[in-house]
Structure formats: C-alpha cells, structure tokens
A = this chain, B = another copy of it.
Amino acid sequence: MPNKITTLKEIAQRLNFSVSTVSRALHNHPSIGLRTTAQVQKLAKELNYEPNQSALLFKQQKTNTIGVILPNLKEEFFSEAINGIEDVAKQNKYSVLIGQSHDDVEQEKQIINAMKNQRVDGLVISISKHTKNYEHLIAVESYNIPIVFFDRVPELSNINKVSSDISEGTRQAVEFLIQNGHKRIGVINGPAEMKSCMERTNAYMEALQKKRIKIDLSLIATTDLTQEKTCQAMEELLNLKHPPTAILTINDYVALDAIQYARKAKLKINKDICFVSYANLPITNYVEFPPLASVEQFPYQQAKKAAEIVFELLKRQKKTEGKPMFKNIIIEGKLVIHKK
C-alpha cells in the first residue's frame, strides 16, 4: 500500500496548528515556541515528512537543477567532466540534468529548448563540434538562465567560459620531442574550425621556429576524428619523402588509431615513430603502446570550474547586483610524460 506522502497540512491538522506554524517550526523559526517546535519536528520525523520539491520549486521559481549539455558521454573526457559538475552541484544541493548532443546541432537546439522549458536554473555546455551559430545559446541567457561554456567554447567575448589553452602544452610537447632527437614532427590535427586546433598549429610552429627547425606544412594532416580519416592522415604522413619520426595527435582516440596504423605498417612504436597526444585518458592504460606523453587538459577541473561559475552567477542574480560578469577562465594544458 502506498505510503501516503505527508504534507504540512497533514501535520498541522494532527497537531491542531496552522500550516504556517508548522512550516516555521520545521525551519526553526525563532518566533515559534520551543515546545511547539519540538512537537512539530517530532511528528514530522515520525511521518517521514519531506517537503514537496515540486511545490517548493514552483513557489521559489527555481528548479534546483542545472543542465549539462555535452557532445558525448562515451568519451571519457566528458564522463570525467560530469563528475566535476556533479560534485559542485551536490555541494549546492542541486541536481544535474544531462543531455547529449551527439555533435549534432539540431539535437543541441532541442535539448537546450527542453532545458529552457524545464527551467533549469543554469546551464553548463560544451558545444557540438559543428555549432557555428550561437543564437540558440545566447537566447537562453535572455531568459535569465546563466550559461557557462567549457572546453568547446564559442569565440565570443561577452560570455562565461572555461577552456584549456593547449598552446603551452603543445610547446612543451614539441620541445620534449626535439630534446629526444626528433627533427621531423608531424601533426594530426582536427577540423580547423575548432579553436584548439588553431592553437595547436600555431604553438607547434612557434615551438619549431624557436628551435630553428624548418617548418614543413606537409607534416600537418587533419582528421575529423573518425578512424577512417585518421588512417588517411597517417597514410599521407608516412608516404612523405621524409616521413615524421614523431607525431602529435589531437586526442587519445586518434592517437590509438594512428598507432594501430603505424603498427600495421610495421613501424616500431617509440623506435621508428613516437606519438604524443592530448587528453591523457584512462583508456591509454589498457593499451600496449600508449602515446609517449600527453597534454593533460583537466576535464574534471574545467567542468568543476564551469559549474562553480554557474553558481556564482546564480548568487549574483539573486542580489540583482551590479554589472554583468564575464569570466574567461583558461586552464593551461600541461605535458605529462608517461612512465612505463
């Protein structure tokens, strides 16, 4: 038999108090008598009273929920990121609503709309790799729902965002390779639209120049992150007259595909050819030839910071405080050299 859900009214009737007295007693309001308070709280406990969230949310015009939209939970980067957001949410007694765009702009729009209608109190989002138009995102803000971008962020200035700058990490990676004797360093980069890809190319070139190594554009290949394109990129690189002896790959999944390709081409990993990658995902623990080193991008920290900004914005909007806030937090990627 369904346990009847206890309401304030229920308690009030049993105790012959008014609903408001009961409400206040439960909140330890100072103006309520000690005895009354004790009585009410005792009965509430007995009846297992829990405030009806829907009613609360309705009344307070907020949902105690933040939405998170990201491309894909299957990527460890993002499932790791979720943990950062969950932790901050938990601290603030918030729930997390998760949506996956699967890198599809239409789905992204739908999810955002759904979340807007659900009246999430705030939004953390890592945009799909094809999102070029940000109207549907900005629209959300005009409904007083703060939105914070992380990792895959739009290139706009009046927004709050947390992203990682991989320039420094890339420089470290290139220098690391040069120190280990490499002169021809290839790159398998992602689609040029992605900001991080520009950063990668630029930092790569800078680092080479600094070390007086000639830049050879044919060493820069691209992939759309599918295995197929990655193999194509590898093919291009390996077929060069002077193929690279080391390759920077945009992320670990691409690195693993590339390494597989190299092995099939009978190259000895870490001997004929070395790999350095970005992300440093746990998955690389399971493979025999992981990349030599990775530029760690700190998904947990990025996401956590983004969530924290959401809550800061929420607090501010309560106080209807002064000027808007636009944080642009950049977390520097750092090269991590794998032991083994």
Contact = CB atoms under 8 A, between A and B. Distances in A.
List the number of copies, as a whole number: 2
B86 A79 contact: no
Interface stretch (A8-16, A113-121, A213-221, A328-336): A113-121
A82 to B, nearest CB: 6
A267 interface: no
Interface in A6-57: 50-55, 57
Contact of A50 (B86, B117, B287, B288): B117
A304 to B, nearest CB: 15
A102 to B, nearest CB: 9
A232 interface: no
A230 B320 CA distance: 56
Contacts of A257: 286
A76 interface: yes
Given A54-B58, A287-B288, A100 B114 contact: no
Contacts of A231: none
Nearest to A68: B98
Contacts of A57: 54, 57-58
A116 B283 contact: no
A159 interface: no
Given A3-B143, A289-B288, A73 B82 contact: yes
Contacts of A63: 54
Contact of A58 (B55, B117, B142, B286): B55
Interface string A251-283: 001001100100100000000000000000011
A117 B154 CA distance: 36
A286 B263 CA distance: 12
Interface of A: 1-3, 5, 50-55, 57-58, 61, 63, 65, 73-74, 76, 79-80, 82-83, 86, 95-98, 100, 114, 116-119, 142-144, 253, 256-257, 260, 263, 282-283, 286-289
12 contacts: A3-B143, A50-B116, A51-B117, A53-B117, A54-B61, A73-B79, A73-B82, A97-B97, A256-B286, A260-B288, A283-B286, A287-B287
* A-B pairs with lowest CB-CB distance, top 10: A58-B58, A256-B286, A3-B142, A73-B79, A54-B58, A2-B144, A74-B79, A54-B57, A287-B287, A50-B117
Given A54-B119, A96-B97, 15 more contacts: A1-B142, A3-B142, A3-B143, A50-B117, A52-B119, A53-B119, A73-B73, A73-B82, A83-B100, A95-B97, A95-B118, A260-B286, A263-B288, A283-B283, A287-B287
